[in-house]
Amino acid sequence: MRPGWRRLFRLDVGSGRVERDVDDELAFHLAMRERRLIDAGLDPAVARREALQRFGDRAAVRAECVSIDQDRERGVRLTRILETLRQDAAYAWRAVRHHRGFTVVTVLILALGIGANTAIFSVIDALLLRSLPVPHPEQLVAIGDQERTDGLSTGSPRTDLLSYPLYADLRDNTRVVGGLAASGSTDRLDVVFPSDSAAGSRAGDATIEHPHGRFVTGNFFTVLQVTAALGRTFTAEEDGAPGGDPVVVISDGYWRSRFGGDRRIVGRTMVVNGTPLTIIGITPPGFFGDIVGDREDVWLPMMMQPLLMPHSPRLSDRSVSWLLALGRLLPGRAVGEAREELRALAARSMLANVDAAEAGAVHRTVRERPLAVEPGGAGFSPYRGTFAQALFTLMTAVGLVFLVICANVANLMLARGAARGREISIRQALGAGRRRLVQQLLSESVLVAFAGGLLGLLVAQWGSVLLLRLASDGPNPIPVVLSRDSRVLWFCFAASLLTAALCGLAPAVRGTRVDLTAALKGQGRGLAGVAGTPGGVPLGKALVAVQVALSLLLLVSAGMLVRSTARLTRSDIGVARDRLVSVTLDAQRSGYAGRRVAALARDLTDRVAALPGVAAVSVSKNGIFSGFESATTIGVEGFTAVRDADTIVTYDAVGPDYFRAVRAHLLLGRDFETGDDESGPRVAILNATMARFYFPRGDLIGRHVSYRGIAFQIVGVVSDIEEQDLRQAPARRLYLPFYQLPQLPGRLNFEVRSSGDAAPLVAPLRQALRAADPALIVDDLEPLTDLIRDSIARDRLVTQVIGSFGGLALVLAALGLYGVMAYTTVRRTNEFGLRLALGARSVDIVRLVLRDVALLVAGGVILGVPLTFAGTRLLRGQLFNVRVIDPPSIMVALVVLAVSAVLAGLVPALRASRVAPQIALRAD
């Protein structure tokens, strides 16, 4: 290789330069020594050997010199880097202080974008990513459906929830899981503190409170490895005899809010559902239990369940499934091993404890729906499945808004770069390198971006709470702990870095590409980055086109979601919803059982029917949009099942005149009547879907269906009623007379038809229930329209957020369009003045500017239409009766964009049309 090429590729950087310098220095010393020996009279070859010999171990000397020089080089390089960063930071600080207005606007815009993204990520982190606040959560396994945290099922054994006997079998026989703890819902708790009533004037002055609680096994805290911050937690002794350990553990949050952090609380008594319990401990701060999204106030021993809920004993009944379990894997074991073992144990336990008549159904359950065993580090959550897709959709939407914001800020920086063209030109003329200038300009972007990130953390804190409040559809947000953990902080940091790159890199590179001669003469009026390169698309206009494209996608998405939500809200559920009030009460916990439930139902029906404004009233087991559903296996006269699923239907038990009360359409036969009671013939009504499935020829009146071995004669067919989920297709549903059930339910639902507006009927209904029995526990009393609205909270959350950010993106795009057109018209002042001087009218100038606006928006639309067609497919799971390509939404979005573009371009156009020709022609 020739020396010229060698010099070309030996760049003066890195460790190679140090080694070359050392080699050159050693070669110089050898050459000098060799020269002295030659001058002394030695032959050159002999002198060379003598010089090498006197020099000693050349390799060792070279290595030591290289090491010393490399250390010195690293120190010099680090010092140089730090000094450069210090200079850049100082320069950036002076620059942002000098342009305070620009800095404040930019920081606020960036804070909105970074904060919105961080807010969504905070909720995703809290609900989907964060582990339970316990040691080594990766060792935990979750058994049961992780969303059914308050689930309760009676009847055939299930695998999504555990009965206590099934849990005990798994706990006692597993060899893969070192500890297995279970927890279950307590329903509503009525709590009184005797010390409060003692301080009052009468014993009854104590206020009844309703803290949120959960039944847990004695090893619950041991399995989770959670120790008490004060007092103690439960031990294995609390799993002894039922009712033998009247103790309770309370949370740190409840301790501080209810008792003000009084350390003397341990040992005090609290009366829960009429039973005195002793407070034995307080959990550490930050521990909320095993349910993400439900901050527990109290934990109660599982063995106290029969005493605290005497009308619903659950510990010995295998037909009551209500528990979820968490286990901790033994060392060296994996979740797959636990899944295989626990499923085998569950199947063995379930099949060993059923009679021959139910064995087939249980075997099908075990085979088709095996026990759910999954990693349990994230605990259980009733919101995870409901909001996961919605949150990721929102994250995508907010990410698009983030890009719009970055494009808008980049345009602002491009405009600012134009004003600094002369400054940059002078610095380049004085010898500043372009790379150094780009670095300094980027330092300004980094400073502004991190200021936006810090402010964005405050926006995120407010925004995440707002999101949870919107999702919960009420003033109280979902109780998710939104702590700013390391993931959230790193996300905000990464978003700030990305913002600095997206907003600052292109303007910095473009801003340093200037014409020195023109700039120094004061004629460099072209906006760096906006004017663009000859033959290319101006960068500022390209950024506006991107904003228009992203805004189109968000506007179309918002329009589709608005239409979808509107159709959900107005969808036909099979009943007249507008004047219907739903009442749900807990008869069992109110002290009613057996036939007393029937007497209570009749009494309340009569009382409510006598209220002014009540047109009809009836009772049901599950209710409409109450969140409760029942399913069973039936036999149908004349029907032969092909699959096991053919015998499974949903069912409800309803009172007399139920279908008249809810205004459902009877297609055949009759409604239930007063005589359809305990002494009357067993009758049943089918919905239309069930009738078509089992009796396609329509010959069903007088046929029989069997429920739990009892034959019911079909007396009618009713139209399909969507009772729980607006999105689901109507299921096969069987209706039985409420008073003919073999066992009456402990929870009652009343459907009350109002003769006018339903809302004014709520207060009289409460008074009537209180008059019947002041101890009645009323869980819900709401118009049906409110219940339906609550059922689509997820859809409304997505619609509201995407709609809001779609509007924000539109405003930002309009501002970007206005900024570009305003600067462009200023640059074209000479042109407009010349046109006016040659006879052009003001309207011609306006038309000319608006034409440029139209071309710019058209470019954005051309870019945005295919992006919209691709992006809206992500909404497929969120839409109801709306296609992924929805022409009305697209047309509305285009009209909104067009109007916004005209408004954004009209002001610069009018300003250009009013320029005096003589002034314009003299402009430099």
- Position 4 scores a pLDDT of 45
- Position 668 scores a pLDDT of 92
| Dist CA 114 CA 106 (whole Å) | 12
Strand bridging mode 614-620 / 704-707: unpaired
- Position 81 scores a pLDDT of 62
In this structure, are residues 702 and 714 in contact, taking their beta carbons and an 8 Å threshold? yes
Token readout for 813 is 């795009």
The residues, ordered by sequence, that sit 6+ positions from 334 with a Cβ below 8 Å of its Cβ are: none
| Dist CA 887 CA 467 (whole Å) | 30
Query: Between the CA of residue 746 and those of 211, 780, 797, what are the distances in Å?
Result: 22, 15, 34
| N- to C-terminal Cα separation, the chain | 56
How many Cβ atoms sit within 10 Å of the Cβ of residue 782?
18
Token readout for 143 is 């058994």
- Position 543 scores a pLDDT of 78
Helix 793-827 / helix 842-871 crossing angle, nearest 10 deg: 150
Nearest residue to 735 via CA among 794, 840, 655, 664? 655
| Dist CA 360 CA 368 (whole Å) | 12
Helix (H, G, I), strand (E, B) or coil at 37: helix
If you ran DSSP here, which 8-state letter would residue 382 be given? S
Query: Between the CA of residue 844 and those of 16, 851, 853, 910, 922, what are the distances in Å?
Result: 66, 10, 14, 11, 21
Nearest residue to 624 via CA among 722, 766, 737? 722
- Position 231 scores a pLDDT of 92
- Position 832 scores a pLDDT of 76
Phi-psi category of residue 15: left, alpha or beta, with phi > 0 → left and psi -120 to 50 → alpha: alpha
In this structure, are residues 325 and 164 in contact, taking their beta carbons and an 8 Å threshold? no
Helix (H, G, I), strand (E, B) or coil at 908: helix
| Dist CA 22 CA 20 (whole Å) | 5
In the beta sheet, which residues pair with residue 347?
A: none
Amino acid identity for residue 411 in this structure = N
Q: How many CA atoms lie within 13 A of 217 on its CB side?
A: 23
In this structure, are residues 778 and 583 in contact, taking their beta carbons and an 8 Å threshold? yes
Helices (H), 594-698: 595-609, 658-662, 688-694
Buried b (16+ CB within 10 A) or exposed e, 299-334: bbbbbbbbbbbbbbebbeebebbbbbbbbbbeeebe
Q: Give the residue carrying structure tokens 């359809």.
A: 676
Q: How many CA atoms lie within 13 A of 865 on its CB side?
A: 9
| Dist CA 832 CA 5 (whole Å) | 56
Chunk the chain into consecutive blocks of 10 residues (it has 924) and report each block's average pLDDT, rounded to whole numbers: 41 58 76 79 77 73 73 64 66 70 78 83 80 89 87 76 91 91 88 64 58 92 93 88 89 90 91 91 90 85 89 82 92 91 89 69 75 88 76 80 79 66 65 67 78 84 76 60 74 82 70 57 44 49 81 84 81 81 84 84 90 90 80 84 79 91 91 89 93 89 88 93 79 91 84 85 88 84 80 74 76 74 71 77 83 84 85 76 83 86 81 70 55
